[in-house]
């Protein structure tokens, strides 16, 4: 009788563990699906197409700004899943990322260029404006 009860407990335990793992896989899959349309290289290229003339970036500044923007977008891609699952956590983490972006650009851009960059922020998160990916 003890063996039967022990066997039942083991089956229930194994079932619980497998359901927990399935839940983790589901979260990972939905996170990846949320970032599927977020192509860091394509976005970086589009953003640089706006920043280069808009900020009058020099030939020396362009690769440095590209590296900072690409790094920012890569980190943003990692937290995009939170936008739907935990918007408050996304906002908090995005704020930290954006401050890092500003800090990185602040070491590359001149004061006037930095002011212009911050002035390029779209009024709303508009998916047709590639710069929205930097500010929202």
Give residue-wise pLDDT tens across range 67-125: 999 999 999 999 999 999 999 999 999 999 999 999 999 999 999 999 999 999 999 99
Same domain, 21 and 63: no
Domain of residue 22 covers 1-36
Same domain, 89 and 110: yes
d(CA 11, CA 9): 5
Q: What is the mean pLDDT of the chain?
A: 83
Q: Residue 38 has what pLDDT?
A: 85
Same domain, 28 and 48: no
Q: Indicate left, alpha or beta for 73 from its phi (over 0: left) and psi (-120 to 50: alpha).
A: alpha
Same domain, 42 and 30: no
36 to 18, 30, 58, 80: CA distances (angstroms): 27, 10, 33, 10
Statement: residue 45 has pLDDT above 90: yes
Same domain, 61 and 10: no
Give the pair of three-digit tokens for residue 49.
Answer: 């197409």
Same domain, 9 and 60: no
How many separate domains does the chain show? 2
Same domain, 89 and 127: yes
- Model-wide pTM > 0.85: no
């Amino acid at each position: 009788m003890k063996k039967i009860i022990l066997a039942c407990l083991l089956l229930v335990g194994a079932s619980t563990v497998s359901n927990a793992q399935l839940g983790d896989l589901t979260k990972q899959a939905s996170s990846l699906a949320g970032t599927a349309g977020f192509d860091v290289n394509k976005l970086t290229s589009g953003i640089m197409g706006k920043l280069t003339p808009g900020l009058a970036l020099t030939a020396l500044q362009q690769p440095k700004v590209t590296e900072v923007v690409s790094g920012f977008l890569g980190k943003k891609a990692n937290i995009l899943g939170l936008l739907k699952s935990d918007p408050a956590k996304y906002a908090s983490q995005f704020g930290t990322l954006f401050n890092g972006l500003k800090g990185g650009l602040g070491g590359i851009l001149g004061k006037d260029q930095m002011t212009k960059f911050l002035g390029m922020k779209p009024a709303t998160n508009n998916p047709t404006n590639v710069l929205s990916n930097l500010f929202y």
